[in-house]
């Protein structure tokens, strides 16, 4: 029983929920207040993109779907929408290791920025698909650009956090 | 390795399916999704509270750096505006009081008669594609979905989600927001029309005395309590114009009164101002000029009571044919700086739950 409990506590997915909760706390407070050019930084999108870039499409997609589901609970959009978008974002970011074999920190950051921009564009499109029209405007490209730049800057900080969070085991 | 991959693929499929089912349930208005959000909120609020405390200095520093000049300029402007409006406010308050007394006397709903709850804005939507704020009053204070929310300036939005101690307010600028409003236009003054066939005659004017008995105020609107103003039998001198073979035909001078026309207000996102769309153009209404005030129209189906100030017309775009013009409006409420709001505990008669 105790071994199972320890396994559960030390599993990457439990760590993911805990770390994502803290990040979401920052998302709904600090990043909600700081809006350069009127655009909010999207740390949850950044986390999903980092997960994809560091651990590949499959683990990234699962991580994206889980943190997206958590993010959905604080958004006003239909429950499950952010989950799909973040899952797709991580999956797209997961294509990066297939293209770049010996990646450096800066080309990972660029991949995260590109995936973040794609994820940010996907969000209003997904909203339109479920009938919440009106958000597909030219503005989404400005939003995607600003989010990409912010995430380009934040990616080198968050990639080690994501690497630790989604590490298969903390021992060894 | 392939077994792990298959397991992960199953997990991805399962999570995606769960998301799709949740979207379907939420769009159908299922209560289970609200329960899920509420339960998550119970666990997440403390984390958010701690994060707010930790990040507040950084957030304040950011605002200090980015908004300092704007705030000092705004302070100067506000001081000047306060000085200008202090005098006007006294006269306006007297007019509003008089108007409310008259409405109450006739049993018509007034904003002053509708119960309300004050709330503090505790958060914005953490998304670039949603225009909503969170407030610290919920169903325990009598707040229900659909109730109008306003601040000191005017209409802010409507309640879209209610939890026991908090609610979500959809702002007017959200593309999903729509509301029936009316434009109060001041048409050009009536002008006499020359009638060439009319002979040389005169217009005489007289006056009559009418006694109006005191009407009993009535209302079916929950939360609305008509005023207790009592007036004695009133004697009013009503001037009556009797046209008697006049050389010119006198158009009844109702142009002195503002004419109202109803349209639909639609939000268009944060970067674009809301618009008012008319179903068709009415000749009687005349030309709408920028600056004309826009207020809620009310009615048995509208979620907002009549005469809440929304904004003023900033631009008029005419459309072809009989389609009415599209009006761009300047909102009176500053949605970027919301601190305190008031929720009107108003429900239209059609939503009233009969005992």
Backbone angles phi, psi at A116, to 5 degrees: -65, -40
d(CA B259, CA B188): 11
Instruction: Identify the pLDDT of residue B282.
Output: 59
Q: What pLDDT is stored for residue B189 in this prediction? A: 45
Neighboring chain A residues of B129 at a CB cutoff of 8 Å: 77, 123-124, 127, 135, 140, 143
| pLDDT (average), residues B61-72 | 87
Of A65, A74, A130, the CB nearest to B15: A65
Q: Select the residue from B7, B128, B177, B275 to test the A interface by mutation, using most A Cβ atoms within 10 A.
A: B128
* CB contacts, 8 Å: B6 with chain A: none
| B103/B83 Cα distance (integer angstroms) | 31
Quick check: B44 and A24 CB within 8 A? yes
Q: Measured between CB atoms, which of B11, B132, B269 is closest to A76?
A: B132
How far is B45 from B163, CA to CA, in rounded Å? 13
Q: Which of A127, A168, A126, A123 is nearest to A143 (CA)?
A: A123
pLDDT at A20 over 50: yes
The percent of residues in chain B predicted with pLDDT above 90, rounded, is 13
pLDDT tops 50 at residue B266: yes
Q: How far apart are CA B284 and CA B255, in angstroms?
A: 10
| Residue A4 scores a pLDDT above 90 | no
Strand partners, B148: B158
pLDDT in tens, A23-38: 999 999 999 888 888 8
Q: What value does the mean pLDDT take over residues B213-235?
A: 41
* Predicted confidence (pLDDT) at residue A102 exceeds the cutoff of 50: yes
Checking ipTM against 0.95, whether it exceeds it is no
Range in A16-25, A108-117, B211-220 the model is least confident about: B211-220
Q: Which of residues 62-81 of A touch B (CB under 8 A)?
A: 62, 65-66, 68-81
**Residue B303: band (very low, low, confident or very high) from pLDDT cuts 50, 70, 90:** confident
Q: Is A28 on the interface with B (CB under 8 A)?
A: yes
Average pLDDT over chain B, rounded to whole?
75
Residues of B in contact with A77 (CB under 8 A): 127, 129-130
Task: Delineate the domains of chain A, giving CATH numbers in brackets.
Answer: 8-160 (1.10.1760.20)
Q: Mean pLDDT across the stretch B273-283?
A: 73
Give the whole-angstrom CA distance, residue A164 versus residue B85: 59
Q: Is the pLDDT of residue A114 over 90?
A: yes
- Candidate from A119-123, B178-182, B284-288 with smallest mean pLDDT: B284-288
User: pLDDT-based confidence at A158, cuts 50/70/90?
Assistant: very high
Q: Name every residue whose Cβ is closer than 8 Å to that of residue B328 and which is 6 or more positions away in sequence.
A: B273, B274, B275, B313, B314, B315, B316, B317
pLDDT band at B250 (very low <50, low <70, confident <90, very high): very low
Please state the length of chain B: 355
User: Domain B116-191+254-355 is in which class?
Assistant: mainly beta
Query: Domain coordinates of chain B in residue numbers?
Result: 1-105, 116-191+254-355, 193-249
Give the one of A76, A127, A134 whose C-beta lies nearest to B268's C-beta. A134
- Answer with the residue of higher pLDDT: A170 or B313: B313
Q: What angle do CA B77, B80, B85 make, to 5 degrees?
A: 120
For the residues A112-133, what does the mean pLDDT come to?
Answer: 91
Residue B90 distance to chain A (closest CA, Å): 37
Which of these ranges, A103-107, B157-161, B191-195, has the smallest mean pLDDT?
B191-195
The pLDDT score that the predictor gives to residue B354 is 58
Predicted confidence at residue B210, as pLDDT, reads 43
CB pairs under 8 A between A and B: 160
Percent of chain B with pLDDT over 70: 70
Section B306-322 average pLDDT: 83
Mean pLDDT of chain A: 89
Mean local confidence (pLDDT), A120-143: 88
Interchain pair A69, B37: CB under 8 A: no
């Amino acid at each position: 029983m105790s071994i199972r409990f320890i396994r559960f506590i030390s599993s990457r997915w439990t760590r993911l929920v805990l770390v994502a909760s803290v990040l979401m706390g920052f998302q709904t407070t600090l990043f909600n207040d700081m809006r350069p050019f009127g655009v909010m930084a999207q740390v949850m999108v950044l986390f999903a993109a980092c997960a994809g870039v560091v651990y590949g499409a499959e683990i990234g997609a699962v991580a994206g779907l889980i943190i997206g589901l958590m993010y959905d609970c604080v958004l006003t959009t239909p429950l499950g929408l952010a989950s799909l978008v973040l899952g797709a974002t991580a999956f797209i970011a997961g294509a990066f290791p297939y293209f770049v074999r010996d990646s450096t920190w800066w080309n990972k950051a660029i991949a995260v920025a590109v995936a973040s921009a794609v994820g940010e564009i996907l969000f209003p499109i997904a909203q339109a698909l479920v009938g919440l029209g009106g958000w597909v405007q030219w503005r989404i490209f400005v939003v995607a650009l600003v989010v990409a730049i912010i995430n380009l800057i934040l990616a080198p900080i968050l990639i080690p956090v994501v690497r630790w969070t989604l590490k298969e085991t903390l021992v060894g | 390795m392939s077994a792990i991959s298959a397991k992960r693929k199953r997990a991805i499929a399962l999570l995606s399916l769960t998301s799709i089912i949740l979207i379907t349930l939420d769009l159908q208005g299922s209560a289970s999704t609200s329960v899920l959000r509420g339960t998550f909120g119970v666990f997440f609020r403390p984390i958010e509270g701690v994060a707010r405390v930790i990040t507040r200095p950084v957030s304040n520093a950011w605002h200090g750096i980015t908004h300092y000049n704007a705030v000092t300029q705004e302070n100067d402007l506000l001081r000047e505006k306060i000085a200008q409006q202090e005098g006007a406010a006294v006269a306006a308050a007297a007019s509003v009081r008089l108007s409310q007394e008259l409405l109450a006397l006739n049993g018509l709903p007034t904003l002053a008669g509708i119960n309300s709850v004050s709330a503090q804005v505790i958060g914005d939507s953490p998304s670039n594609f949603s225009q909503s704020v969170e407030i610290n009053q919920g169903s325990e204070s009598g707040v229900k979905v659909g109730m109008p929310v306003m601040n000191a300036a005017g209409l802010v939005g409507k309640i879209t989600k209610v939890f026991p101690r908090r609610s979500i307010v959809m702002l007017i600028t959200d593309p999903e927001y729509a509301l029936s409003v009316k434009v109060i236009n001041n048409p050009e003054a009536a002008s006499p029309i020359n009638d060439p066939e009319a002979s040389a005659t005169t217009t005489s004017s007289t006056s009559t005395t009418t006694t109006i008995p005191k009407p009993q105020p009535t209302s079916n609107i929950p939360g609305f309590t008509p005023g207790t103003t009592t007036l004695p039998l009133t004697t009013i001198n009503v001037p009556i114009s009797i046209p008697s073979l006049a050389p010119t035909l006198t158009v009844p001078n109702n142009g002195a009164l503002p004419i109202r026309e109803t349209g639909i207000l639609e939000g268009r996102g944060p970067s674009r101002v809301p618009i008012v769309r008319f179903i068709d153009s009415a000749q009687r209404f005349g030309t709408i000029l920028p600056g004309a005030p826009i207020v809620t129209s009310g009615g048995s189906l509208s979620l907002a009571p009549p005469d809440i100030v929304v904004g003023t017309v900033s631009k008029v775009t005419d459309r072809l044919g009989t389609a009415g013009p599209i009006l761009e409006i300047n909102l009176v409420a500053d949605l970027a700086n919301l601190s305190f709001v008031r929720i009107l505990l108003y429900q239209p008669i059609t939503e009233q739950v009969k005992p």
